[in-house]
Amino acid sequence: MAREEGLAEQFASDSETIRSIYNEWSPTYDVDTDSWGYEAPVVAAKMLASRTDPEGQILDVGCGSGKVGTALASLGYHDVVGVDVSPALLDIAATTGAYHALAEVDFTALPTDLLEASFAGLICVGVMTYLPEVEAVCREFSRLVEPGGTIVVSQRTDLFESRNTQAAFDALAADGTWSIVEVTAAHPYLPGHSEYEGIDVRYGVFDRQ
């Protein structure tokens, strides 16, 4: 799936293009990402599960075909709301049975229409690639999570540096929006994808204040 390479920088804020590409990709998305060793949804779900009650409502931002929701369901979560820009991927996510609700939401346009402080936790995996305004997006994530809730995000290592991701995380900590629980070292991202050699992923875990 070479067409995915370079999409992040060229079309980072063009939601119509992203929607079109992922709609087209949807029939083989799971097969492709599985073949590349894409484990980020499971890794991030375990991080969220270590800090949130399975009875709480969780928002899965950029849920795609439902990989994160499926991972959360296996950990006992049954009230997960998934949002994504691709209706074709949302249709696939609906077949997993892992979501209480699904909706098409565009996080390139902020603020969203989602209700403030509605969720006990929020998870965003493999999506920050397409959301270049890191601090603004993190503030929107925080707006949606109730005090005491947990937020887990992933960011590619190349974009972590070029987009000053740590500085954005620190800005929210400095003004008391969230506290930083952990920002991990690099983990494998797409180890089976030759065009992603040298690109890993880091995870951020935060508690909403």
Q: What does the domain layout of the chain look like in residue ranges? A: 2-208
Tell me the CATH number of domain 2-208, given options 3.20.20.140, 3.40.630.30, 3.40.50.300, 3.40.50.150.
Answer: 3.40.50.150
pLDDT tens-digit map of 5-61: 444 444 446 899 899 999 999 999 999 999 999 999 999 999 999 999 999 999 999
Of 182, 185, 172, 193, the residue nearest 48 (C-alpha): 182
The CA distances from residue 200 to 38, 101, 132, 195, in Å, are: 11, 31, 18, 12
- Tell me the pLDDT tens digit for each residue of 169-206: 999 999 999 999 999 999 999 999 998 999 999 999 99
Residue that the structure tokens 């109730």 belong to: 146
